[in-house]
Amino acid sequence: MLESLINPKRAEKGPWKMFFIGLLYASLSVLLVKIFFSSDPVLIKYSGLLVVTFCVMFSLPFIYYIIKQEEEEDEIVEGLRRIWSVHKDAVFALIWLFLGFVIAFSFWFLVLQDSNLLNAQIETYCSINSPSSIAECVTQYSTGTFIGPTGYAIGVPRFLSILENNFYVLVFTLLFSLIFGAGAIFVLAWNATVIASAIGIFTKFELSQIPYGLLRYMIHGLPEITAYFLTALAGGILGAGFIRNGLNNRRFLHVLENVVVLLFAAIIILIIAGFMEVYLTPLLFH
């Protein structure tokens, strides 16, 4: 019913509208899991994944429409500036959608004060920031005891570790979007929930601190997620171009060239985002 009430074509004409769609879909995802699964002794263990699953289900019509639209336009453009001109609206639409996700997930996570809602995401946060004591980290954050992250490397080792993790996500985004054009939305929704859990931990579950938490993680988070969006577009465009034209068609080769340009831009942005996360963000937020 929602996909009928909210038309993807209308939303795509104004990228900023995707922010409110992100707010709506993320809010519905959290509330549905809270209402229907919080009392189930089995499913509550998978609440974090259920939240992402609902968010993906709601978002698929929009992502599918955007990928399809971008592939058709990609067959007739060339050159980095022209490629960006054609795809920038789609990228901005996805960024606004992602911001809506992050803010809604963060808001409800702090309001409901239920760590089970993003339990898998808290564990992911701990695996990145406290790899030497993941179980202890998860227990402490799940029970409301807040400590500073411990046990992770600093400087170059941490930069390389974060870069490795980010490239891992980039590859999965590419594969997901290549196999199923809109499949990358799972990776993007998952990252939004991980950031929301990190904001909850960073702000110690204080609702008034959400803007501060958002600033803390969006400084490097926005360029990072932009790289994933470019990768998702590249994979979706490549898959759709292959289906429409086949391997030997000149149009497909043209699409392939543009995909390489998008991936190269994504890699450069991802390296810059990793540098910002390790060296810039800690200087601004202690």
Residue 149 has a pLDDT of: 46
Q: What is the pLDDT of residues 68-104, one digit of tens each?
A: 676 666 555 555 666 677 777 878 888 899 999 999 9
Selection from 234, 103, 218, 241 nearest residue 170 by Cα = 234
Half-sphere exposure of 72 (CA within 13 A, CB side): 5
End-to-end CA distance of the chain: 46
Between residues 271 and 205, which one has the greater pLDDT? 271
> How many CB atoms are located within 10 Å of the residue 272 CB?
15
pLDDT tens figures, 89-147 = 878 888 899 999 999 999 999 898 888 888 888 888 777 766 666 667 777 666 554 44
Between residues 151 and 125, which one has the greater pLDDT? 125
DSSP 8-state code for residue 133: S
pTM of the model as a whole: 0.82
Q: In 10 A of CB 38, how many CB atoms?
A: 14
Query: What's the rounded Cα separation, in Å, for the pair 76 and 167?
Result: 30
Q: How many CB atoms lie within 10 A of CB 164?
A: 10
* Residue 237: other Cβ atoms inside 10 A: 28
Q: What is the arithmetic mean of pLDDT over 254-267?
A: 86
